[in-house]
Amino acid sequence: MKLSGEYRLATKPDAIKRYFENPDLFKRCLPGCSAIETLHPGNYLATVTRINGTMEETQYLFKYTPGEDKNAFTMSWRGTDSSNLMSHGEHQIRLLQNGKTTILAHHSSVELTKRGKECAIDPGKIMTPLTHLFENIVDQLKNDPDKTDVKDEGLLAKAEDAVVEMEHEAEEAAATGFLGGVQMWGWIAFGILILVLIFVFE
């Protein structure tokens, strides 16, 4: 069984990759995951809820494998229990930066166990966790505080630079007595500051 998809995200490739490289971040996005253990770098043992509709849990081994270039990698997985419906599978992922956005493209595949094939379970029920993994990553990135902080710092730096430059110009103009001297230029500077802040934080 195979599934492909694309997502366009307003972030850099490295911000997306860390959700696969960092086991704690990966746990947040992996559907039904209650615990994750790092066996060694890039290899995790995840405890997840079975997809058979019960509240039983099982475990899968996940492996992160870098690709030929830094923005391509594979996340493969296999079950540890023969009673699982899914035997193994993988997500082949490529991140394509396009200006200020990144396209996350994935090609996913799943192999069922003998029991999984005999159960004739709805294919949509099997593919749903795969889709939800990427949807959860997208949601996490939209609310990523690290990304927001970086953006805010950049905006504040722009505002601070504009204010300093404006203060220097006002001081020079006030010294010449142009437009009423220091007091008038104080009010002009204050008005320009408000306009700058509105423009920067718009």
Residue 154 has pLDDT above 50, yes or no: no
46-100 tens-digit pLDDT: 999 887 667 789 999 999 999 989 999 999 999 998 777 788 999 999 999 988 8
Distance CA 128, CA 43 (A): 23
pLDDT at position 9:
93
Which string of DSSP letters, residue by residue, matches 46-103?
EEEE-SSSSS-EEEEEEEEEE-SSTTEEEEEEEES-TT-SEEEEEEEEEEEEETTEEE
The two tokens of residue 94 are 């490529």
The two tokens of residue 185 are 């230029």
